[in-house]
């Protein structure tokens, strides 16, 4: 459903950032120092304050500006996390870039980890909300209060794709290695858009199902959008959507309003809203109630002629979802039932996490 864009092409769309990370954090740590989004003209090594072969490599590939810099301590060492941006001409925002983690308490800063987000997913990386004021996520630190250190990178690119804003989360281990905390945890076709602490200290991840983008013959503005919630507690990340049923009240209210009051000229659009309702009920553990309500709403809409009859709703959507219901499988877009499932190539978190 989504593809990484090349470094030099296809990224000069009108700036439209999708998704919003809605919570700030009461965690104490250094504040990111953000540079202006304009090329300085100086070599990266001069901007950063020291040299490294990876800096030279990125410079040769067009990365030309120090974006943000974070200093923190972990495991009795000092670290510096920096974002490097690719800026071109008069474009006022980065069109790509990389993040590098250096251990700085040695004679010469030692590169511990790096990731080129242009190559990974066609995105520019951010370390805080200093430049992206809608984005809030924890700074580097012990997120779970268990002696481990985590940090996040927000990847973003211009455009209206549902995958234009993605939160990546990593763990810095005591030996200096940096694995992805979301690899093998978040299913292919899903992305994390927010990480916020709950009242009990659990970190709640908002996980968006972007498989519905441009599904069911609809444009990316109108496909069925589903959200799951994962709890990160005691170093374990697991789907806990049923424990966050209150977060679905707004989604269910919007879906019910549209399904009971509006007239749809396109049965696929009506089906997309109906699927959002089904997926929300499924997520909160009320699958049977959701299926019963969806059928009642569909019958009422057809009887009132608020949706075209003898078309997509009755011939494709309802039979497909009934098949999933009878098989006790999650409700999802019909395209995924009749077509291929997302593969590892669709999983941003399963891709390489280190610059070669």
Matching residue, tokens 């499988």: 329
Residue 31: count other Cβ atoms within 10 Å of its Cβ.
10
Asked if 325 and 155 touch (Cβ cutoff 8 Å), the reply is: no
With cut-offs at 50, 70 and 90, classify the pLDDT of residue 135: low
Evaluate if residue 355 carries a pLDDT over 80. Answer: no
- Region 1-22 average pLDDT: 32
Has residue 26 got a pLDDT over 50?
no
Give the model's pLDDT for residue 350: 85
The residues, any chain, with a CB within 8 Å of residue 41's CB and separated by 6 or more, are none
Closest alpha carbon to 101 in 89, 115, 88, 90: 115
Tokens for 356, please give them: 């070669």
Token output for 40: 């300085």
Instruction: Give yes or no for a contact between 288 and 344, defined as CB atoms under 8 angstroms apart.
Output: no
Q: Please tell me the distance from the alpha carbon of residue 36 to that of residue 65, in angstroms, as a whole number.
A: 9
Cα–Cα distance, 223 to 17 (Å, whole number)? 18
Name the residue among 15, 38, 42, 293 with its Cα closest to residue 164.
15
State which of 86-90, 114-118, 340-344 shows the largest mean pLDDT: 114-118
What is residue 158's predicted lDDT score, i.e. its pLDDT? Answer: 80
Given a cut of 70, whether residue 210 has pLDDT beyond it is yes
Question: What is the SS3 string spanning the chain?
Answer: CCCCCCCCCCCCCCCCCCCCCCCCCCCCCCCCEECCCCCCCCCHHHHHCCCCHHHHHHHHCCCCEEEEEEEEEECCEEEEEEEEEECCCCCCCCCEEEEEEEECCCCCCEEEEEEEHHHHHCCEEECCCCCCCCCCCCCCECCCCCCCEEEEEEEECCCCCCCCEEEEEEEECCCCCCCECCCCCCCCCEEEEEEEECCCCCEEEEEEEHHHCCCCCCCCCCCCCEEEEEEEECCEEEECHHHHHHHHHHHHHHHHHHHHHCCCCCHHHHHHHHHHHHHHHHHCCCHHHHHHHHHHHHHHHHHCCCCCCCCHHHHHHHHHHHHHHHCCCCCCCHHHHHCCCCCHHHCHHHCCCCCC
pLDDT at 131: 62
Q: For residue 34, what pLDDT band results from cuts at 50, 70 and 90? A: low
pLDDT tens track for 139-177 = 999 998 889 999 999 999 887 888 888 999 999 999 999
| Whole-number average pLDDT of the chain | 86
- Span 254-279, pLDDT tens digits: 999 999 999 999 999 999 999 999 99
Among 159, 233, 223, 152, which residue's Cα sits nearest to residue 193?
Answer: 152
pLDDT 10s digits, 300-350: 999 999 999 999 999 999 999 999 999 999 999 999 998 887 777 678 898
Q: Compute the distance between CA of residue 80 and CA of residue 109 in angstroms, rounded to an integer.
A: 9
Predicted pLDDT of residue 27: 30
Cβ burial, residue 224 (10 Å; 0-12/13-18/19+): buried
pLDDT grade, residue 115 (50/70/90)? very high
Judge whether 195 and 203 are in contact, CB under 8 Å.
yes
* Number of residues written out for the chain: 356
- Of 8-12, 292-296, 338-342, least confident by mean pLDDT is 8-12
* CB-CB contact of 188 with 205 (8 Å): no
CA distances from 160 to 4, 33, 80, 222 (A): 14, 28, 32, 12
The model's pLDDT over 66-86, given as tens digits with 9 standing for 90+, comes to 999 999 999 999 999 999 999
Q: How many CB atoms lie within 10 A of CB 136?
A: 18
| CB distance 114 to 104 below 8 Å | no
């Amino acid at each position: 459903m989504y593809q990484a864009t090349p470094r030099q092409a296809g990224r000069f769309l009108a700036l439209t950032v999708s998704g919003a990370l809605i919570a700030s954090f009461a965690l104490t740590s250094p504040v990111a120092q953000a540079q202006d989004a304009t090329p300085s003209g100086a070599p990266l090594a001069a901007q950063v304050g020291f040299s490294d072969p990876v800096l030279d490599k990125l410079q040769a590939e067009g990365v030309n500006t120090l974006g943000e810099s974070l200093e923190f301590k972990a495991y009795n060492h000092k670290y510096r996390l920096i974002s490097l941006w690719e800026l071109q001409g008069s474009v006022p925002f980065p069109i790509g870039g990389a993040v590098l983690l250096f251990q700085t308490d040695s004679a010469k800063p030692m590169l511990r980890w790096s990731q080129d987000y242009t190559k990974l997913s066609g995105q520019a990386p951010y370390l805080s909300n200093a430049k992206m004021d809608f984005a809030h996520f924890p700074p580097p630190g012990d997120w779970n209060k268990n002696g481990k250190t985590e940090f996040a990178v927000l990847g973003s690119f211009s455009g209206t794709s549902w995958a234009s804003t993605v939160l990546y989360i990593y763990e810095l281990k005591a030996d200096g290695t940096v694995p992805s905390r979301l690899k093998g945890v978040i299913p292919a076709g899903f992305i994390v858009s927010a990480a916020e602490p709950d009242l009990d200290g659990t970190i709640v991840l908002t996980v968006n199902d972007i498989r519905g983008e441009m599904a069911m013959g609809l444009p990316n503005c109108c496909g069925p959008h589903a959200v799951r919630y994962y709890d990160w507690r005691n170093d374990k990340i697991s789907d806990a959507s049923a424990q966050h049923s209150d977060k679905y009240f707004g989604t269910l209210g919007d879906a019910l309003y549209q399904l009971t009051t509006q007239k749809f000229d396109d049965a696929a659009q009506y089906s997309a809203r109906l699927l959002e309702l089904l997926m929300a009920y499924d997520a909160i553990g009320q699958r049977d109630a959701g299926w019963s309500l969806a059928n009642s709403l569909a019958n009422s809409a057809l009887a009132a002629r608020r949706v075209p009859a003898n078309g997509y709703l009755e011939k494709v959507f309802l039979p497909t979802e009934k098949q999933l219901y009878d098989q006790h499988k999650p409700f999802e877009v019909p395209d995924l039932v009749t077509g291929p499932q997302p593969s590892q190539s669709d999983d941003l978190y399963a891709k390489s996490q280190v610059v070669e």
